[in-house]
Amino acid sequence: MAELQIPQSRLACGNYVGAQWVKASGSRREVLSPYTNQVIGEFFESTSGDVESAVKTAHSAFAEWSQMPLKERCQILFRWREVLLRDLEQISVTAALECGKTVDEARAGVLKGIEILEFATAAQNFDLGGQMEVSRGVTCAYQRTALGVVAGITPFNFPAMVPMWMIPLALVVGNCFVWKPSDKTPLTSTWIANTLTEAGLPKGVFSVVQGGQTTVEFLLDHPLIRAVGFVGSTPVARSVYQRATLHDKRVLALGGAKNHIILLPDADPEVAGSGIADSFTGCAGQRCMAASVLVTVGDCESLIEKIVNAARTKQPGVNMGAIITRQSRERLVSAINQAEKEGVRVVLDGRHGHPPSAYAQGNWLGPTVLDLVRPGSTAACDELFGPILSIIRTKTLSEAIHLQNSSPFGNAASVFTRDGGLAQRVVRESRAGMIGVNIGVPVPREPFSFGGTQASKFGHGDITGHSGIEFWSERKKITIKWNQNSDRTWMS
Catalytic residues: 288
CB of 172 to ligand NAD, least distance (A): 21
Which residue's CB is nearer to ligand NAD, number 205 or number 434? Answer: 434
The type of residue at 294 is L
CB of 212 to ligand NAD, least distance (A): 5
| Adjacent-strand bridge partners of 231 | 254
Q: If binding is defined by CB under 6 A, does position 257 make contact with ligand NAD?
A: yes
Binding residue (CB under 6 A) for ligand NAD from 254, 380, 384, 415: 254
**How is the chain split among helix, strand and coil, in percent rounded to 5?**
40, 25, 40
Binding residue (CB under 6 A) for ligand NAD from 14, 256, 367, 387: 256
Which residue's CB is nearer to ligand NAD, number 157 or number 414? Answer: 157
Stretch binding ligand NAD (CB under 6 A), from 42-50, 58-66, 251-259, 386-394: 251-259
CB of 344 to ligand NAD, least distance (A): 22
Site string for ligand NAD, 184-223 (x = CB under 6 A): ----------------------------xx--x-------
Q: If binding is defined by CB under 6 A, does position 385 make contact with ligand NAD?
A: yes
| Adjacent-strand bridge partners of 262 | 295, 415
Peptide bond into 447 cis (omega under 30): yes
98 membership: H or E segment, kind and range: helix 88-99
Binding-residue total with ligand NAD (CB under 6 A): 27
| Adjacent-strand bridge partners of 474 | 145
Burial class (CB in 10 A: 0-12, 13-18, 19+), 425: middle
CB of 113 to ligand NAD, least distance (A): 13
CB of 185 to ligand NAD, least distance (A): 8
Would you tell me how many other CB atoms lie within 10 Å of the CB of residue 361? 14
CB of 269 to ligand NAD, least distance (A): 29
Rounded-to-integer distance, Cα 207 and Cα 205, Å: 7
The SS3 of residue 175 is coil
Stretch binding ligand NAD (CB under 6 A), from 102-110, 127-135, 231-239, 348-356: 231-239
Q: If binding is defined by CB under 6 A, does position 452 make contact with ligand NAD?
A: yes
Rounded-to-integer distance, Cα 436 and Cα 411, Å: 11
Binding residue (CB under 6 A) for ligand NAD from 160, 288, 332, 380: 288
- In degrees rounded to 5, what are phi and psi of residue 364? -105, 140
Which residue's CB is nearer to ligand NAD, number 209 or number 304? Answer: 209
CB of 184 to ligand NAD, least distance (A): 6
Query: If we measure between CA atoms, which residue out of 470, 427, 434, 428 comes closest to residue 454?
Result: 434
Rounded-to-integer distance, Cα 237 and Cα 414, Å: 24
- In degrees rounded to 5, what are phi and psi of residue 331? -65, -40
CB of 364 to ligand NAD, least distance (A): 18
Binding residues for ligand NAD restricted to 387-426, rule: CB under 6 A: 411
Which residue's CB is nearer to ligand NAD, number 174 or number 186? Answer: 186
Stretch binding ligand NAD (CB under 6 A), from 232-240, 272-280, 332-340, 363-371: 232-240
Which residue's CB is nearer to ligand NAD, number 212 or number 447? Answer: 212
Q: What is the DSSP string of 287-344?
A: STTSEEEEEEES--HHHHHHHHHHHHT--BTTTB---S-HHHHHHHHHHHHHHHHTT-
Q: What is the CA radius of gyration of the chain?
A: 24
Binding residue (CB under 6 A) for ligand NAD from 76, 106, 236, 311: 236
Which residue's CB is nearer to ligand NAD, number 195 or number 259? Answer: 259
| Adjacent-strand bridge partners of 457 | 254
Binding residues for ligand NAD restricted to 141-170, rule: CB under 6 A: 153-157, 162
Point out the residue whose Cβ comes nearest to ligand NAD.
232
CB of 257 to ligand NAD, least distance (A): 5
Tell me the CA distances in angstroms from 137 to 140, 271, 478, 482, 486, one per residue in order. Answer: 10, 61, 14, 7, 5
Binding residue (CB under 6 A) for ligand NAD from 383, 412, 459, 469: 383
Q: If binding is defined by CB under 6 A, does position 268 make contact with ligand NAD?
A: no
Q: If binding is defined by CB under 6 A, does position 232 make contact with ligand NAD?
A: yes
Rounded-to-integer distance, Cα 36 and Cα 336, Å: 23
Binding residue (CB under 6 A) for ligand NAD from 75, 143, 233, 453: 233
> Beta strands of 384-425 (E only): which ranges?
388-394, 409-410, 412-416
Contact 322, 156 (CB under 8 A): no
Q: If binding is defined by CB under 6 A, does position 15 make contact with ligand NAD?
A: no
Interacting residues with ligand NAD (CB under 6 A): 153-157, 162, 180, 182-183, 212-213, 216, 231-233, 236, 240, 254-257, 288, 383, 385, 411, 452, 456
